[in-house]
Amino acid sequence: MDSCEKKILVVDDSNTNVVLLDAVLTNKGYKILTALSVKEAISILSRETPGLILLDLLMPKVNGYEFLADIKRNESTRNIPVIVISAVTDIRDIQKSKMLGADDYIEKPVNLDILLTKIESKYRN
């Protein structure tokens, strides 16, 4: 595997959102890993280390909050920046995300220019 790949893990239960983010970010030179569930994301993280995670909060079974807490508790993933992308706009949800370790929070529908700027500022090599 090329260690120079700029990998981003996109975790969202909406296939439409995943396809859109994959297309936009691939065009910007990122390798996109996609997960439609937290279970799938955990599996990917067991074998890949992305430089950034884009995480939806509202997902079936295990929600984004639980996954975020797990990422930040785990020694091997705690330093991966996480940008939450969510339709949840309540200030308490934004604060909870930050308290659990999110590096940033973007509301849906996503402004792609803002998203790209935030990714560039948070991405870890």
* Per-residue pLDDT at 111: 95
- The pLDDT of 105-120, averaged and rounded, is 95
Report if residue 87 sits inside a domain.
yes
* Per-residue pLDDT at 66: 94
Secondary structure (DSSP) of 55-108: E-S--SSS-HHHHHHHHHHSTTTTTS-EEEEES---HHHHHHHHHTT-SEEEES
Please answer whether residues 36 and 18 qualify as being in contact, where contact means their C-beta atoms are separated by less than 8 angstroms. yes
CATH number at residue 71: 3.40.50.2300
pLDDT, tens only, 53-94: 999 998 888 889 999 999 999 999 999 999 999 998 899 999
Report if residue 123 sits inside a domain.
no
Task: State the pLDDT confidence band at 3, using cuts at 50, 70 and 90.
Answer: very low
Structural domain of 110: 7-118
Report if residue 50 sits inside a domain.
yes
pTM: 0.94
